Structure 1
Amino acid sequence: MKRCAALVLATALAIESALADPVELSAFRDLPRPAPSIQITYGEAPSQKIDVFLPDGPGPHPVAVLIHGGCWSTATAGREQLRHLGPELTRHGIAVWSIGYRRANEAGGGYPGTYQDVRTALDRLSAEAPAHRLDLSRVVLVGHSAGGHLALWAVSRGSLPLENPLQGRLRFEPRAVISLGGVGDLATFVRFVPVLCGPGIVEQLAPNDRLAEVSPATLAPSVGSVIMVSGVLDRLVPPWVGHDYVRALRGKPGVVPRLVNVPDAGHFDLVTPSAPAWQEILGLVAAVLEKR
């Protein structure tokens, strides 16, 4: 009888766990966020800074470049919103280079400022790597939500025409780019942006005829490994968004896209350490950065 009762309880707990609600925005906002080891300034705007978290030990350390989301808008926090992931990664020996950028509705942001900021912050990683014992042969770009769009764009801008002001390749070769609930095919998603992010964001992010320059799906990534991670229960950026981007990559040489759909996960589970989804994300990052 006791064994039967224990089995019933264990089954009930398993069902309860499986049916747990996704992490809500309010819970994500309330997470404690420690200060970074170092802050690097690359422009005059408060958002033009980079949070650096360094692991213990002499290095050289593998690097996770984090690009925050938030609807490309000043209505949400900037790079500060991902500070809680710094200790999560450094305790596994991974350095964190978490970039801030001027948002679409911020002075100097939008097109081309937001994209120029991402480019500059990534170029600084190449310049600063020796001083902070960072291993540029083991780098992964990880973008969440709007940051997923910017991460995918950053590894694809090299395929822009030479005369384009945003054209250029990264000064290092990431092993992979991981998009967490991010937007790769901006052209198919753009109609949802006003509903999710408010009016005016699209016009500033991709004005007039500039959409093809800033939608990763119209470009060719310079990294072979592209991982599109979606929470199955994501109501903001559903799994079909990742699928659309992977479909757009088909036929482009040298690219191996991968879809990862995480069960029972919403938009913020992918960047919340207490959520089971985070362990899967951490595993993906660690696998990409393994020594070869």
Structure 2
Amino acid sequence: MRRRASVTLLAALAIGPALADPVALSTFRDLPRPEPALQVAYGEAPSQGVDVFLPAGPGPHPVAVLIHGGCWSAATAGREQMRHLGPELTRRGIAVWSIGYRRANEAGGGYPGTYRDIGAALDRLAADAPQHRLDLARVVLVGHSAGGHLALWAASRDSLPPESPLRAAPRVAPRAVISLGGVGDLGSFARLVPVLCGPGVLEGLIPADRLPEVSPAALTPAAGSIVMVSGVLDRLVPPWVAHDYARALRGRSGVALRLVTVPDAGHFDLVTPSTPAWEEVRGLIEAALEAR
């Protein structure tokens, strides 16, 4: 890890000094978060819900499915941490389907509950799309941090072995997955989870012998394209994490993967409006939904 960290540092030095400090966690926490247009429950737990933001107009609207981060831990905020992005996208004509889920250290969460929640929330999108005038032919999955892992996994679950309890036929086929400071190779990142997230999370997330079912690097994504976005100054999920995932997928036919490294950006710049990093992310979302 020291060698990889030094490579990241040298890359940052090569482009010159940072023009601004990365967005701090406290700044991200203090962002105003409007209430969604509606909330949809897909299970009995409070975390098993979806925040829905709808744009004006008759539709059908393209959809950005947001999956929040927070270390897979119930000690952090749930789907409400992404509510500030709702108006950012709806004013551009994009509907938002922001998924909450039971975390790895939450009752019913971990394996298989957390993963089944993501699948159930996407299936609910398919079921509710006509009611809300949502265009299932134009869907992009956008996950931040731990949510990046779950977005990549959701787009790959069709390649799970038939005997896996997580195997299900997806009802939503995303055009793209955009992982924002997310983890694609859970095997190489696992040693850092206890350090970053605390005790109990890793054990719930990856029980014994289940890594090939829950690490996107061991699966093959079905999305049209994968974009791994990293902040050069991200200390939580540095750019080498995205490169590990890209290396794992190298040579698999049909997988179009792009690495985007944003200068001067930390972990939370990628989901903070008004930052250059968010402007780039928003452009990636719009481009994915406009592509034919």
Task: Return the TM-score normalized by structure 2.
Answer: 0.93
Structure 2 unaligned runs (5+)?
1-16
Q: CA deviation at 1:253?
A: 1.1
Question: What residue in structure 2 maps to residue 84 of structure 1?
Answer: 84
SS of aligned partner of 1:129: helix
SS of aligned partner of 1:40: strand
Q: Distance in 1 between matches of 2:231 and 2:137?
A: 29
Q: Distance in 2 between matches of 1:253 and 1:169?
A: 21
Question: What residue in structure 2 maps to residue 259 of structure 1?
Answer: 259
Hey, which bits of structure 1, 4+ residues long, moved more than 6 A? none
For the pair 1:59 / 2:26, whether they are aligned, the reply is no
SS of aligned partner of 1:130: helix
Matches within 5 A, 1:8-157: 18-157=18-157
SS of aligned partner of 1:120: helix
Contact 2:175 2:225 in 1 (8 A): yes
SS of aligned partner of 2:122: helix
SS of aligned partner of 1:260: strand
Larger of the two Rg values belongs to structure: 1
1:221 partner letter: P
Q: CA deviation at 1:291?
A: 5.8
Structure 1 unaligned runs (5+)?
1-16
SS of aligned partner of 2:125: helix
Q: CA deviation at 1:224?
A: 2.8
Give identity over the alignment, percent.
Answer: 77
2:178 partner letter: I
Q: CA deviation at 1:19?
A: 2.4
Q: CA deviation at 1:168?
A: 2.1
Q: How far does the alpha carbon of each residue in 1:25-67 deviate from its partner, in whole angstroms, 9 at most, with x for none?
A: 0000000000000100011100000000000000000000000
Q: Distance in 1 between matches of 2:228 and 2:136?
A: 23
Q: Distance in 1 between matches of 2:67 and 2:237?
A: 16
Q: 1:234 to 1:291 in 2, by over 3 A?
A: closer
Contact 1:186 1:217 in 2 (8 A): yes
Question: What residue in structure 1 maps to residue 170 of structure 2?
Answer: 170
Contact 2:174 2:224 in 1 (8 A): no
For the pair 1:183 / 2:211, whether they are aligned, the reply is no
Question: What residue in structure 2 maps to residue 6 of structure 1?
Answer: none
Q: CA deviation at 1:169?
A: 3.4
Q: Distance in 2 between matches of 1:246 and 1:150?
A: 16
Contact 1:52 1:98 in 2 (8 A): yes
